[in-house]
Amino acid sequence: MRVRTETLDRFLSAVGEVILASNQLRTSAHGGAAPTPAFAGGLDRMDRMVGELQRRVLELRTAPLLRVAETLPRLAREVAQSIGKRVEVELHGVELELDRAILDRLGDPLVHLIRNAVDHGLETPEARRAAGKPEAGRIVIEARREKDHVRIAVIDDGKGIDLDAVKRRAVESGLVPAALADDLPPQEVASLVFRPGLSTAHAVSDISGRGVGMDAVRATIESLGGQVELETAMGRGTATILIVPITAAVQRVLLVGVGREVVAIPIAKVERILEVASAEIEHTAREAFVLIDDEPVPVLALGPRIALGEPPPAERTTLVLAEVRNARVAIAVERVAGQQEIYVKPVPELLSGVRALAGLTVLGDGNPVFLLDLNQLA
């Protein structure tokens, strides 16, 4: 039986409203006299039933990764044939199911990665023979589940990325100072390919190599609450790994206070919370740093970055140590208000242009709270 996606979306939205109403009811009950055991037990049963309903609805919204991956082998063969190459594509783990809203956004990044692997990654049959490799290149698309995320790897056995060439282009483009380029570790050099405008292609082709695309891949995955990793070895190939949540509708978040407002941070991005003396935070002209585990970590003041102003001076500062664009960052907040599982609604159209806002929810007390996209704060 086919069910329209719009119908499932409305159904999930209704379940989300039930979750919010349940949280508000529990909050109201705790705000007055102690509830009777029967009333408290009824609330617990309702929470369990709503949780089960939520899980069933999310199951209805999921679809296998194969839905967007099944056309990729043919695409790879067509691209390879057009430029005189040969390729074989293997799919593994594509029976894993994800939220349809996430699947719909994965198609374009996967298409770009396949085109990039064929055009830039794989060698010509002659070059592969000279290198002792089979004439046909090999691309593997492999997916596996890790807790509440899915890890999707696009792996080729081509020539790998010339990290020296990446460094040269980064210096020429002004992305990296020449004095610092030689000190960058290989992983950071490889991550430069995701910077806008950086391309190591010797010539622009109709397939890829315009210096766009990889940055769009990262932006799309990060907007889904995921991240992108890249591993490469000269002469052996490259693996681009997309890590995305299984569902975008329900998330576990950390609630933090900035001024009189409360905002939500995805708990999956949080390493730990700590409090330091404000004097330990060192300020330069434009940046701030603090030593954590004997390493300097950038400090981002959350208030100014979401237009809530500078916090009042205080002897101690609460820091949320989190991952932002694959780097450790300490986010300065005024207080921590706890953890909660929330139903994420889309940002209202009026605020859709504010990139730091990833979603909206309503707490048990009826107050709206925005979910932040930490990657847009840096």
Give residue 301's domain range: 250-376
User: pLDDT tens-digit profile of 81-140?
Assistant: 999 999 999 999 999 988 887 888 899 999 999 999 999 999 999 999 999 999 999 999
State the chain's mean pLDDT as an integer: 84
* In a shared domain, residues 225 and 270: no
* In a shared domain, residues 159 and 235: yes
In this prediction, residues 347-353 reach a mean pLDDT of: 75
Bigger pLDDT: 327 or 256? 256
The one-letter amino acid code at 137 reads G
Q: What is the CATH classification number for the domain harbouring 281?
A: 2.40.50.180
Q: Which is it for the CA torsion 61, 64, 69, 73, positive or negative?
A: negative
* In a shared domain, residues 10 and 151: no
pTM confidence score:
0.69
Can you tell me the distance from the alpha carbon of 27 to that of 34, in angstroms, rounded to the nearest whole number? 12
Can you tell me the distance from the alpha carbon of 291 to that of 299, in angstroms, rounded to the nearest whole number? 10
pLDDT value, residue 166: 87
Can you tell me the distance from the alpha carbon of 207 to that of 209, in angstroms, rounded to the nearest whole number? 7
The SS3 assignment for 345 reads strand
Q: Which residues of 52-67 are buried (b: 16+ CB within 10 A; e: fewer)?
A: eebeebbeebbbbbbb
* In a shared domain, residues 88 and 138: yes
* In a shared domain, residues 96 and 169: yes
User: pLDDT tens-digit profile of 43-80?
Assistant: 788 878 877 887 777 777 788 999 999 999 999 999 99
* In a shared domain, residues 276 and 236: no
Can you tell me the distance from the alpha carbon of 278 to that of 281, in angstroms, rounded to the nearest whole number? 6
Can you tell me the distance from the alpha carbon of 166 to that of 200, in angstroms, rounded to the nearest whole number? 6
Q: Report which DSSP code applies to 121.
A: I
Last residue of a domain, one of 188, 216, 245: 245
* In a shared domain, residues 73 and 206: yes
pLDDT value, residue 209: 44
Tally of domains within the chain: 3
Q: How far is CA 274 from CA 84, 155, 182, 294, in A?
A: 56, 38, 34, 15
* In a shared domain, residues 32 and 94: no
User: pLDDT tens-digit profile of 260-291?
Assistant: 889 999 887 899 999 999 999 998 877 889 99
